[in-house]
Every structure is written in C-alpha cells, then in structure tokens.
Amino acid sequence: MQLCKMKRKFKLGFSPCPNDTYIFGALALGLIPSQLDYSITLADVDELNTLSVEQDFDVIKMSYHAFAYQTEHYQMLPYGSALGFGVGPLLISGRKSAVDEIKKVAIPGELTTANFLFDFAYPNLKVEKTVMIFSEIEQAITSGRVDAGVIIHENRFTYQERGFYKIQDLGEYWESKSKLPIPLGGIAIKRGLNPEIKAKISDDLRASISLADRDFSLIEDYVKQYAQEMDVNIMKKHIDLYVNQSTRGLSVQDIESINFLLKNIRNGKCVRSKDLDWLAV
C-alpha cells in the first residue's frame, strides 16, 4: 500500500561528524525520493544524548550507552550504527603517565559510550570527571585543567602529531574482554510510531547511505561543511573507520555486542534483549 505524503514533519537529529553527515547527507539534501518530510537538527553527540531523554525527536542519533536508558521509548534502526573493531575511544594525556597518576579526566559526555568504556576499563579508579565537547578535550589537557582525556572522532587520528600520549585504547580493552565489536552509537526511532512509518524511515536511511556509497561527490560538500577537521584526508579516514558494514546493516555479531553492552550497563537487566525488541523493523 502506498503511503500518502505525510503532512507533519518527522524530527530528525544527528551530529555534524563526518560519519553522520555521510549517512544523512543525501536525505538532508533531498537527493532521494521520500514520502516523508523531515525537520533536521544537528548537535554534538553529548547534546543529542541529553535531548533523547526528552523523547522529542522521532529519529535521533544516540550513543548506545544513552540508548540503554531509553529502550522503553526508542528502538534502534538496523542501519546507520557505528560499530566495529579498532574504532574505540582513547585515553590520552600530555605526557607519558600511568593510569593511577590521573586525578582529573575529561570525558565527552556522561551518556557517551566513551564514558562507559572508561568505567568498563577502570571500574575502581577514583577520578574527578569533567564533561566537555570532544573538540575541547585536548586543550583542557594542555592547559592543565585535567590530567587526561577520553578522545573520540577525528582526534584519534591527530593526537600524536599534537604531542599527546596514549595511555589506553579503551576499545581494545573492550575487545579483549568481550571478543566483540564496539557498539558506539546508532540511529534510534520512536517506539510508538506506526510500524509502516518506521519501515519507511528505515528505507529512507538505507537509501541515503546507498547513494553516498555510490557517489560520494554528491554529498561531499555537505560533509565538509560540518566537519570539525577540515583536512580532506582526515575526514575520509573518519568516514572509512566509522561507516562500515555494520552501518549498512547490523550483523548477528553486532546484535550480540549491543546486547552485551546493554546487559553490562543495566547490570544484567537488559530490557527485552533476548527477543530483540530493541531492534526496529
């Protein structure tokens, strides 16, 4: 059955990071045919995680850490997730130092998966955490405001040339314990939406990714417009790392990894994880 063009706009939120603008670029630019209208908001991942608590968005990018507390209101779409091996956040400092020397650490948000992975690696470490935008963490280390920081996104490609030292690859620690890919973030959809609408939004997202895969030049300017790191090579490294096979469809292993993370966050009380009720369409 054909859907009529919907009168209301569906609220869509994602970050300005290159992997998200790659995923949503064709949809945002109107390059794919859709029977739905979207109202688009771009915000930092930590802000999106906070906004998800208000349940105001129909579709929103959120960390899997944040999603653990929103499974009653949201489900994850099978497309658009950032998972994989070797994609995790890094704990860095301005000098070679041991973990037990850290007293203050900067994190890119309480509900980020990066913060969860820090606690997962160091459950007994007593530190003072400071939340800040991910792009400000290196400067906070340099100025002495914090002793170390958990970095994400483009910073993992450039921290060494800026004179920082890696204390721990938090993703590698997760992988060593779980033997599973790291579930960083995904595209969540309102649980209460009509199933037919959910399916249509999912199709639009898949089509948007497919167009970007076929001809990146069509959305390249859109991605560059929002990239924090304007160097084209860094931007492409970011996309290559975070837009992978899991982005194009969750595998059985990906689902196992997400369940494992949810169970750890919820102390073994993952909401409906066994029947995959958290996975939409």
Active site residues: 153
- The residues, any chain, with a CB within 8 Å of residue 56's CB and separated by 6 or more, are 11
> Is residue 70 a contact partner of residue 78, using CB atoms and an 8 Å limit?
no
> What separation in angstroms does the CA of 27 have from each of 3, 34, 50, 208, 281?
18, 9, 24, 5, 19
- 199, with CB counted inside 10 A (0-12, 13-18, 19+), is middle
CA distance linking residue 67 with residue 193, whole number of Å = 17
Q: What residues pair up with 9 in beta bridges, in sequence order?
A: 37
> What separation in angstroms does the CA of 226 have from each of 103, 213, 221?
34, 19, 9
> What separation in angstroms does the CA of 157 have from each of 52, 73, 105, 189, 233?
29, 35, 20, 31, 10
- 126, with CB counted inside 10 A (0-12, 13-18, 19+), is exposed
DSSP for 86-113 reads: S---EEEESS---GGG-SEEEES-TTSH
CA distance linking residue 113 with residue 165, whole number of Å = 21
